[in-house]
Amino acid sequence: MTVERRLARSGFTLSRDYPAPVERVWNAFADEKEKLSWWGAGEAMTHGEWAFDFRVGGVDIAEGTFHDGPVSRYVATYTDIIEHDRIVTTYDMWLDGVHMSTSVASFEFEPIADGTRYTHVEHGVFFDQYWADGPNREKGTLGIIEQLARYLS
């Protein structure tokens, strides 16, 4: 079978206000036990390999099998961390062992009167058969942001 080689680029910005102080929202990302409590697809998947190394140059891995079949693998490297302010990562995604994308993502934490404004900005390159997957990435990221809201409430 011949694979059609193509690239697509996609970018998006998502923002959400949480009624929790910056330190609380930050710790949901920076503390492994907390991140394990909300990160991922919850009941929609069986969790597999997990690694957490929250430092510049550190690598996170989150792998899981969705109940309807595919295996998702996320491997991120932290490139910039400013405590209570921002996190920047590069990350790669695989689906059933096929490299689907490489992204740069920034997470910003801004104190506001009623808590924290979290802003997620992402730019991705999608490969070959996943070239049109940008809108799904934004939808999936929105789901993660909603999981965080449930965790923080």
How far apart, in whole angstroms, are the C-alpha atoms of residue 62 and residue 94? 11
Rounded Cα distance, 113 and 77, in Å:
32
Nearest to 58 by CA among 88, 83, 94: 88
This prediction's pTM: 0.90
- Whether residue 1 lies inside any domain: the answer is no
- Kindly state whether residue 131 falls inside one of the protein's structural domains: yes
pLDDT tens digits along 99-151: 999 999 999 999 999 999 999 999 999 988 766 677 788 888 998 999 999 99
Closest CA to 92 of 69, 70, 61: 61
Instruction: For residue 40, give its domain range.
Output: 7-152
Cα–Cα distance for residue pair 136/19, rounded to 1 Å: 27
Residue 40 domain-assigned?
A: yes
CATH code of the domain containing 19? 3.30.530.20
What's the pLDDT tens digit per position in 58-92?
A: 999 999 887 778 898 999 999 999 999 999 999 99
| Contacts for 21 with CB less than 8 Å, ≥ 6 apart | 111, 115, 116
Question: Does 147 map to a domain?
Answer: yes
Measured distance CA(72)–CA(79) in Å, rounded: 22
